[in-house]
Amino acid sequence: MSVPQDRSVPEDTAPVFPVPLSRRALLQRAGVAGLALGPAGGLLAACATGGGGNNDAAEGEVTEDNPLGVPEDEPLEVVIFNGGFGEAYATDIHEPMYAERYPNARIEHSATEQIAQTLQSRFVSGNPPDVVNNSGANQMDNGQLAADGALYELTDLLDAPSWDDPNVTVRDTLVAGTVEVGSYNGTFYVLNYAYSVFGIWYNAALLEQYGWEYPRTWQDMVALCREIQSAGIAPWTYQGLHPRYMNWPILSMATKLAGPDILVDIDNLVPGAWNHEAIIEAATAVYNLRRDGFILEGTEGMDHVQAQTAWCQGRAVFIPCGSWLENEQADVTPEDFRMAVAPEPLLSTDSALPFEAIRATPGEPFIVPAQANNPRGGLEYLRIMLSKEGASGFTQMVSSLTSVKGAADGLELSPGLASAAQMLSNAGDNVFNWLYPSWYATMENPMIDAATGDLMTNRITPQEWAERCEAAATQIREDDSIEKYSR
């Protein structure tokens, strides 16, 4: 869920030897250790890269009630990422549904904040769980897992009848983009369950108080910014030390101006993709925010929590973010704050996409490992998650939309989430997304991240920024050891 890859490392680098050793004593000890280790070499046979796997996955009979052929008494092991969404949605909603349908199957549930540390060795030794919520700052790279053949194909799940209506396949219950985002070179491996929408966030109460209206064009945005400035408030802030958040309005505004094909070029690492004039125009727009003094002073020195908190305190009016923002800020949001989100303004009235077009992407990945003991049970568990009951339960419990169509309809939603849901439904089919950050993580951070930081503080011009992004793409393109994806 939470995008900033920023976490605390409980690692102490303080020196551990309180008593100074003389050099001679140190060398003597090293010598003794070396002698003692000679015969111990044989102990080192157990290697990190060794090990193999078993692949005797159990399968049950395929029937009308059991379209995926789930072995009814085989245990199911589920590992949940215990992050912003917690683990209760699994233990209180989805797992009971599975247990009810398959009373003889034992469910082994566990949750961790450190998915990779907990599970990586189990993948290497060929003994992974059946369902993994592979998310968080310590997630395993899904693209790499797919390239390594470590993931079970989810195609059967897509073609299976949905939980609620046997005449509708699971594929048809998913919102646009879910299959694309979870596919690697054409095969669907990763079910992204939570649905995030991106836009510019503001406090609707504050805008009402001053009689301001959210602008539909960038020209109006600049005019409004001047007005906000004269009211003594900073018009904009962004997640300072993580300037890549500003990539979102840049790419979204460029896409609305020139159409989603520019994103395909960027994702496919096409030479010159970043030098597209629409992208430079969008970069210039945000560059000018700083030039005109519209950005909250000190923003570049704040981390995402500090900047978002300053925004919650009313020190800035607009901030770019995704729909997890409301949850993330829940503790510091004042009572009278009416969180709302709107699409990025249009750079020109002559745009390829309407104002309502937004970036939306399924996130919170769930995978079934190829070497799981009960992969069919894993698929069934995902089918349960995608049921009406499973999805709306999730939305209600953790305040996030899901990638199940219409699962949030009729639910009582918090202001920010309601606004996000409204924005999504206004967008209709005009929903776009880009994938290069999940395909090539270091291209986004630190490469383009650093460039955007320099752009936002006006240390480089929009043209230089585009060159730096282009150089990042080139570096990825020319590195043969990096598995390439295309769409």
Partner 1 sequence: MRHGKYPFILAFLLPPVALYAIFVISPYIQAFYISLTEWSGFTSQATFIGLDNYQWLLRNEYFWAALWHNVLLLIALPLITIGLGLFFASMLNVGGRRGTMQITGVRGSSVYKVLYFLPQVLSVAIIGVLWRYAFEPSTGLVNGVLRAVGLDALTRAWLGDPSVAFWCVLAVLVWANVGFYVVLFSAGMQAIPRDIYEAALLDGASRFATFWRITVPLLWDTIQVAWIYLAIIALDGFAIVQIMLGNAGGPSRSADVVGLVLYRTAFMDYNFGRASAIGVAMFFLTLTVAVLSMRASRRERIEF
Considering only residues 118 through 137, tell me which ones interact with partner 1, judged by CB under 8 A.
Answer: 120, 123-126
88 near partner 1 (CB under 8 A): no
Q: For the chain, first and last CA: distance in Å?
A: 24
382 near partner 1 (CB under 8 A): no
Q: Looking only at residues 149 through 188 of this chain, which bind partner 1 when binding is defined by CB under 8 A?
A: 149-150
Q: Looking only at residues 239 through 268 of this chain, which bind partner 1 when binding is defined by CB under 8 A?
A: 240-242
Give the C-alpha separation, 200 to 319, whole Å: 6
Query: Site for partner 1 (CB under 8 A): which residue of 76, 88, 111, 147?
Result: 147
Q: CB of residue 17 vs partner 1: minimum separation in angstroms? A: 8
For partner 1, give the closer residue by CB, 31 or 51. Answer: 51
For partner 1, give the closer residue by CB, 38 or 410. Answer: 38
Burial class (CB in 10 A: 0-12, 13-18, 19+), 71: buried
Token pair 């295309």: residue: 486
422 near partner 1 (CB under 8 A): no
145 near partner 1 (CB under 8 A): yes
8 near partner 1 (CB under 8 A): yes
**DSSP helix, strand, coil percent of the chain (3-state; round to 5):** 45, 15, 40
25 near partner 1 (CB under 8 A): no
Query: Site for partner 1 (CB under 8 A): which residue of 442, 461, 470, 477?
Result: 442
How many of the chain's residues bind partner 1 (CB under 8 A)? 72
DSSP states of 144-213: HHHHTT-B---HHHHHSBPSS-TTSBHHHHBPTTHHHHTEETTEE--EEEEEEEEEEEEEHHHHHHHT--
Window 310-349: contact mask with partner 1 (x via CB under 8 A): x----x----------------------------------
114 near partner 1 (CB under 8 A): no
233 near partner 1 (CB under 8 A): no
Q: CB of residue 444 vs partner 1: minimum separation in angstroms? A: 9
229 near partner 1 (CB under 8 A): no
Q: CB of residue 153 vs partner 1: minimum separation in angstroms? A: 17
Bridge partners of 431, per DSSP, are 358
Count other C-beta atoms under 10 Å from residue 373's C-beta: 21
What phi and psi values does residue 4 have, to the nearest 5 degrees? -60, 125
User: Quick one: which segment of 31-39, 280-288, 323-331, 377-385 binds partner 1 (CB under 8 A)?
Assistant: 31-39
For partner 1, give the closer residue by CB, 10 or 103. Answer: 10
Burial class (CB in 10 A: 0-12, 13-18, 19+), 102: buried
441 near partner 1 (CB under 8 A): yes
Give the C-alpha separation, 434 to 181, whole Å: 9
Token pair 């030390």: residue: 241
Spatial contact of 295 and 310, defined as CB atoms under 8 Å apart: no
For partner 1, give the closer residue by CB, 11 or 412. Answer: 11
Task: Look at residues 342, 341, 344 and name the one whose alpha carbon lies nearest to residue 217.
Answer: 344
Q: CB of residue 467 vs partner 1: minimum separation in angstroms? A: 15
For partner 1, give the closer residue by CB, 74 or 449. Answer: 449
Spatial contact of 253 and 283, defined as CB atoms under 8 Å apart: no
For partner 1, give the closer residue by CB, 1 or 97. Answer: 1
Rounded to the nearest 10°, the torsion over CA 342, 343, 344, 346 is -120
50 near partner 1 (CB under 8 A): yes
User: Quick one: which segment of 11-19, 187-195, 267-275, 276-284 binds partner 1 (CB under 8 A)?
Assistant: 11-19
10 near partner 1 (CB under 8 A): yes
Task: Look at residues 300, 317, 298, 319 and name the one whose alpha carbon lies nearest to residue 308.
Answer: 319
Rounded to the nearest 10°, the torsion over CA 465, 466, 472, 476 is 170
Window 290-309: contact mask with partner 1 (x via CB under 8 A): ------xxxxxxxx--x---
User: Quick one: which segment of 5-13, 185-193, 223-231, 277-285 binds partner 1 (CB under 8 A)?
Assistant: 5-13
12 near partner 1 (CB under 8 A): yes
Token pair 């003889």: residue: 104
Task: Look at residues 81, 197, 199, 188 and name the one whose alpha carbon lies nearest to residue 140.
Answer: 81
Q: CB of residue 61 vs partner 1: minimum separation in angstroms? A: 32
482 near partner 1 (CB under 8 A): yes
Query: Site for partner 1 (CB under 8 A): which residue of 72, 153, 265, 454?
Result: 454
Q: CB of residue 360 vs partner 1: minimum separation in angstroms? A: 24
Give the C-alpha separation, 188 to 178, whole Å: 9
Task: Look at residues 254, 197, 253 and name the one whose alpha carbon lies nearest to residue 221.
Answer: 253
